[in-house]
Amino acid sequence: MTTAGRRTELIRILRSRKKDTVRNLAFELGVNERTIRRDLLTLTVDEGYLIDTAQGNGGGVTFDGQNSPHRRILSQEQISVLVDLQKLADDHQSSVITGILEAYGR
**DSSP structure string for the chain:** --HHHHHHHHHHHHHHHSEE-HHHHHHHHTS-HHHHHHHHHHHHHTT---EEEE-STT-EEEE-GGG-TTTT-S-HHHHHHHHHHHHHS-HHHHHHHHHHIIIII-
Residue range 8-37: average pLDDT? Answer: 93
CATH number of the domain to which 50 belongs:
1.10.10.10
Integer Cα distance of 81 and 74 in angstroms: 11
Q: What is the pLDDT of residue 59?
A: 80
Asked if the structure places residue 71 within a domain, the reply is no
Q: What is the pLDDT of residue 81?
A: 93
Instruction: Say yes or no: 92 and 45 in one domain.
Output: no
Domain that holds residue 101: 76-105
pLDDT > 70 fraction of the chain, expressed in percent and rounded: 92
Reported as a pLDDT band with limits 50, 70 and 90, residue 7 is very high
Instruction: Say yes or no: 57 and 80 in one domain.
Output: no
- Structural domain count, the chain: 2
pLDDT in tens, 43-95: 988 888 888 888 888 789 998 766 556 656 778 888 899 999 999 999 999 98
Instruction: Say yes or no: 53 and 88 in one domain.
Output: no
Q: What is the pLDDT of residue 72?
A: 62
pTM: predicted TM-score of the whole model, two decimal places: 0.61
